[in-house]
Structure 1
């Protein structure tokens, strides 16, 4: 035995030892390249069912740009053409259609529910023959690039819970938003930028507010919360160095703070301390990356013309669409736009025309821009609001002036790129635009489908909090396979 040990010691010389060690180092190096931060000691808990930064299966999309139309645009004035409503203008909504379904407090007290057809004309576009309103000529021009889903439905009937439901999968607050879940599941592609960015704009119509809870990390580590960009001189608050502080001084200060935070982490083990260190470092790197992203002066004239002159005005919807492309192109996983002003309870024909003018050209330009750059196949673009609008008039009605109340039972959105079938219309509603007759898509189905395109299984993307495993789709949701390529 001693002889064997001696022979092994003689054969295990320095060269052989280093040769064997190199195999392990190579594996470590490969792992760190495939999953940045895998060996940093900053990963998730041992309870997690996935390795953060890796999808569950091969993804079709790498990134999402979500053009959220805050306030709920009417499907009857956008993508769900109902000529019968014009034919029956002013007649009462049949009881057999409504079937006693609940109404909001704004129309529950109405004694009658007169049907009102769209003031706008519709035409068919693309190979699918999709009906699109005259107020969206640019989106009509990309009909063969988008998938219109006319059979969305939700459980919420008022704005705040409906907004929260779409963004977090639950009507109450304190849940992680969709962008935070994507950040948690996939991480960032660019260490100098957040994985989840938020852009806000306001249109000419009646606006509903947006709140930071819509891009919250909820119970997930706070590194995954959305970072809001503003249109001012400082697009991200508190990112700039204070007056009189040099770059080198800032670096030394951050290093010392990181040492103190690391000591606290070693003592208490609170993962939020690690998150704070990561956020400080991210902010330091963003000081260089953000100004470059925000600068549109180098964009060629044809791109400015594509998005429209408003893209040069910070804070407009068009400017945010162009910025969303730049952020996505730079590796931001999830870019969320909120455009306020779609809450047309009255004066709908006039107000909605202004809203449509704000968003039509830039929305179509974003899809076209991504396509000509070869990025549309790996970028999922989504356009839509939190619920639909009623087929009957709210309050006093004339042909030129009417309003519509909230309607959760059916509404329309569209999606493009990122593994979604282009040039199709999915789902159908009845002749009154009140109930779904074919292929219903629940909000959780929509969320499951978005995650699926990113290579994430919505049932496996979970996080244990207070003894329960949470997920974006709660306890339901199924992938809508019919719209996938």
Structure 2
């Protein structure tokens, strides 16, 4: 009898030895989490026949990068107060804007940095030191000004709530697998429970072993700790896996069974590897000081950045860092002081650390929000959403440093050069990792789905030759 069958069998009908094994297995492997994996697996439309679904796979063409770290600032960073200096906006503050509303000049001082002369406000002095390493995308635009839909679209390619789509990280896992079989290949740190929640790191109709593994900003992974000694736990797992394999050899076995077996093995391996990997106490004090590590909420983002470096260095293919609190419809200036102070030093330290360790040679870093903010005033001290023109930056493997692609108009309202839709961003990210977004498909409900749907253009101007 498999665990899948046992979960559907009355407990009293099981042999005592199997009842005991299942009882301890539930405590040892986090039955809640694994049952969730099983439920997700049932959504898969095709039988997954690969014995090792997470094994490394060959890309479509030579990749420029092997891993991604995505620094996601949820809520929409005000670009004209941080990274977008607009002289006309500064001159015309208080006047009517071309699209209506009152133009609001930034209260923060801007200056140019590096040989590129890139503009940064005084809010980001440490990131500004990396000016010549950054690749700016300044003509981004998306489809909806609502946070829930825009966040989901940034992560899955679709804002359509009627059909949940796989996340970017899940597509990467599906297309490339993972090189470290003892760790999850896709980790999301401190994801916001709002604005899509688990959809943003889920696998949707892809098999569940491609979904992200969630950890909090303390490095804790839910349901990972075991209440059973390692040797006994291994015996219990062997029993469960033997029952699952017996079921797999019978006619009509569940298509998702291979994925369940694989997820149990990964869970067992993670119990030994993940806690040690995320233990920041073993880092030299100088490194922790560079990131600005401190106790409590004030050190949350710094801890995430250091964990991201450790995970990426260990071979995790996709790591996402999330910091909420950027939705400044009011209290803009005080709010930006707080948010930028918590982000600037750790982000700069992450880039320095990755470079010093040689990790930027195969790791790509993406930094940005789901959309931007308007150059006009909202209320007494705020800015509204802007989906027609906003920036993100890339740095690291595969992209040309010190390059700017795209631009907005003189007030920062609309992208007028190098326009990039979210689909174009996704197509470009996949291409950097060696995947053709038109060929990376999965058949579900009678059609071939892809991350970029029926759109997406790869922007090659930013790529190294």
Q: Which residue of 1 aligns with 2:379?
A: 395
Q: Which residue of 1 aligns with 2:423?
A: 444
Task: For residues 408-432 of structure 1, give each alpha carbon's deviation from its aligned partner in whole angstroms, at most 9, with x where no partner exists.
Answer: 0000111100111111222111111
Following superposition, the deviation at residue 264 of structure 1 comes to 2.8
1:220 and 1:41, CA in 2 relative to 1: closer, same or farther beyond 3 A? closer
Give 5+ residue unaligned stretches, structure 1.
1-38, 45-50, 99-111, 397-401
Q: Under a length normalisation based on structure 1, what TM-score does the superposition of the two structures give? A: 0.82
Q: Which residue of 2 aligns with 1:86?
A: 90
Q: Which residue of 2 aligns with 1:179?
A: 169
Conserved in 2, the CA contact under 8 Å of 1:209 and 1:340? no
In 2, Cα distance between equivalents of 1:315 and 1:350: 19
1:274-353 aligned at under 5 Å gives the runs 274-310=258-294, 316-353=300-337
Following superposition, the deviation at residue 302 of structure 1 comes to 2.7
In 2, Cα distance between equivalents of 1:286 and 1:385: 31
In 2, Cα distance between equivalents of 1:269 and 1:159: 42
Following superposition, the deviation at residue 41 of structure 1 comes to 4.2
Runs of 4+ in 1 over 6 A off after TM superposition: 311-315
Task: For residues 264-291 of structure 1, give each alpha carbon's deviation from its aligned partner in whole angstroms, at most 9, with x where no partner exists.
Answer: 3333343321111111100100111011
1:201 and 1:258, CA in 2 relative to 1: closer, same or farther beyond 3 A? closer
Conserved in 1, the CA contact under 8 Å of 2:293 and 2:299? no
In 1, Cα distance between equivalents of 2:68 and 2:255: 28
Task: For residues 32-80 of structure 1, give each alpha carbon's deviation from its aligned partner in whole angstroms, at most 9, with x where no partner exists.
Answer: xxxxxxx984267xxxxxx971111111111000001111101111211
Q: Which residue of 1 aligns with 2:245?
A: 262
1:404 matched to 2:383? The reply is: yes
Task: For residues 165-220 of structure 1, give each alpha carbon's deviation from its aligned partner in whole angstroms, at most 9, with x where no partner exists.
Answer: 00000002411000001111111111110010010178xxxx96561111000111
Q: Under a length normalisation based on structure 2, what TM-score does the superposition of the two structures give? A: 0.85
1:125 matched to 2:113? The reply is: yes
Task: For residues 450-484 of structure 1, give each alpha carbon's deviation from its aligned partner in whole angstroms, at most 9, with x where no partner exists.
Answer: 11111111111111111111111111111111111
Q: Which residue of 2 aligns with 1:105?
A: none
CA RMSD of aligned residues (A): 2.1
1:42 matched to 2:26? The reply is: no
In 2, Cα distance between equivalents of 1:237 and 1:208: 18
139-148 vs 51-60, greater mean Cα deviation: 51-60
Count of aligned pairs between the two proteins: 413
1:225 matched to 2:211? The reply is: yes
Secondary structure, aligned partner of 1:394: coil
In 1, Cα distance between equivalents of 2:456 and 2:152: 17
Task: For residues 330-353 of structure 1, give each alpha carbon's deviation from its aligned partner in whole angstroms, at most 9, with x where no partner exists.
Answer: 010000111101000011011011
Conserved in 1, the CA contact under 8 Å of 2:134 and 2:401? yes
Q: Which residue of 2 aligns with 1:22?
A: none
Give 5+ residue unaligned stretches, structure 2.
1-47
Task: For residues 306-330 of structure 1, give each alpha carbon's deviation from its aligned partner in whole angstroms, at most 9, with x where no partner exists.
Answer: 2113389797011000000000000
Q: Which residue of 2 aligns with 1:190?
A: 180
Following superposition, the deviation at residue 382 of structure 1 comes to 0.6
Q: Which has the larger radius of gyration?
A: 1
